[in-house]
Amino acid sequence: MGGMEKLFESIRRIGFRRGPGRVVAGIGGSLAKKFGVNVWLVRLLIFLSFLLPVLGVGAYLLVWVLTPWQDGSIPLERALEARRLT
């Protein structure tokens, strides 16, 4: 198993999954569920983080490409696999 495969497997073991009741990308819902806090509080904090130039949006995008869907697939992993096949 290569380095990237190990990285993606370790991400899956963390337990974050995009929730089925997502508003945008499901990041707020998955964080709220993992930490046991109100989902709207997490969404508000994410929204407020967007006021920070680059950091808020950049961190959100990073988490978005690394957070698995309910089936365990990770967007970055799928994109890299599709690129490798072409």
Q: CB–CB of 15/33 below 8 Å?
A: no
| pLDDT score, position 60 | 79
| pLDDT tens per residue across span 7-17 | 899 888 887 77
Which tokens sit at 9?
A: 């497997």
| pLDDT tens per residue across span 20-56 | 665 666 777 777 887 888 888 988 888 888 888 777 7
| pLDDT tens per residue across span 54-78 | 777 788 788 888 888 888 888 899 8
Does pTM surpass 0.85? no
Residue boundaries of the structural domains of the chain: 3-83
| pLDDT score, position 4 | 84
Q: What angle do CA 9, 38, 28 make, to 5 degrees?
A: 40
